[in-house]
Structure 1
Amino acid sequence: MAQIVDTSDFYPGLKFKWQEGMWEVVNFMHHKMGRGGATVRTKMRNLETRSTIEYSFRSGERFERIVFDEKPAQYLYKEGDGYVFMDLASYDQIYLSAEVLGDTVNYLKDNLEVSLDLFEGKIMGIDLPDRVELKIVETQPGYKGDTVSGATKPAKLETGLSINVPMFVNEGEVVVVDTRSASYLERAKK
């Protein structure tokens, strides 16, 4: 039975059917106008083409929610333009293109456990853990005493992702990164 959601149920990551396609909410904002009804301005990603669009829905519009089957997998390595995962149940190797993975490639490191999102037998993408530990490969040197200022500096991580980190974090350190917001959380515990 199809699960129906409306615009009041939107949250980042919600997947739904709209205009013959499958979409994921990236972000949204409710907007109430002086006269007339409210609208929901939505930025969303097409799960098949990976393109992103912005669209305004009338408040209360209804959609069929997409529920994916999840299959545990482990990232193994990059091969050419694609990425190789191992199905943790059958030990089969699965090759996924960068187009299918989208921005999640910025968090992939060897042996990272993920969930493959399957819809009608087709892999639509992966779900990452909320937090991953990545090593800083390039940043300006830190200074003693820069712990309270709240200032940040850019840092390049081992996967190529660039984030802002506090001034006291140095090159070579491992940090915990929030995969939902691409932001620094803390230094990794040793």
Structure 2
Amino acid sequence: MPKINGNEIRPGNVLEHNGGLWAAVKVDHVKPGKGGAFAQVEMRNLRNGSKLNERFRSADKVEKVRLEQKDQQFLYEDSGMLVLMDTNTYEQVQLPAELLGDRRPFLQDGMMVVVEYHEDEALNASLPQKVVCKIVETEPVVKGQTAANSFKPATLDNGVRVSVPPFVGQDEDIVVNTETMEYVERA
């Protein structure tokens, strides 16, 4: 694995530090009035989700880890485990549903998921950025209420509650951003 200097760390980099794999979430470069400059790095552990703040000077060397990304198709869920299929080898793997976190309700049958592996261990899974969902419950459309930029609550077919514009009604398909869990547009 390549070693990088402490001042080359960028958000999104995966580092091997203190025997664990950490993703750099936030990086601030600090130049104090006295002493040398350093990078203040907020990191999240990829295995257990714990957070850590660490200072790296430019002379410090850190192992930068490259994760292998594989496109895999979601087949079904079985007792808290997601069963995914590698579309190249047709090999099936089981991953814990916690890998998706609060984005889990947006996972749909046959959806392509990008899974990041370090050696043979799955560390992260990400859904497509936009997903089409159906609104099952919301307030009725009120005419003349479009002047103000207001939103109303709506419940989707997967049980997630989002805010939608007043012109969107029940039983309509909408596009939802899976990262921010917000309404994007009508489908």
> Fold conserved (TM > 0.5)?
yes
Q: Name the amino acid aligned to 2:53.
A: Y
For the residues of structure 2 that align with 1:10 and 1:148, how far apart are their CA atoms?
Answer: 43
The 5-angstrom pairing of residues 1-190 of structure 1 reads 1-2=1-2, 4=4, 6=6, 9-11=9-11, 13-26=12-25, 28=26, 30=28, 35=33, 40=40, 42=42, 44-49=43-48, 51-53=49-51, 55=53, 57=55, 63-188=62-187
**Unmatched segments (≥5 aa) in structure 1:** none
Sequence identity (%): 33
Q: CA RMSD in A?
A: 3.0
The CA deviation string for residues 123-172 of structure 1, in whole angstroms up to 9 with x for no partner, is 22223222222222333333233344221223333333333222222232
Retained in 1: the 8 A contact 2:100–2:124?
yes
SS at the partner of 1:100?
Answer: helix
Structure 1 pair 22–151 and aligned structure 2 pair: CA distance change class (3 A): same
Bigger radius of gyration among the two:
2
Structure 1 pair 24–158 and aligned structure 2 pair: CA distance change class (3 A): farther
Large movers: runs of 4+ above 4 Å: 5-9, 31-39, 58-62
For the residues of structure 2 that align with 1:152 and 1:57, how far apart are their CA atoms?
Answer: 42
TM-score by length of 2: 0.77
Retained in 2: the 8 A contact 1:128–1:179?
yes
TM-score by length of 1: 0.76
SS at the partner of 2:143?
Answer: coil
**Unmatched segments (≥5 aa) in structure 2:** none
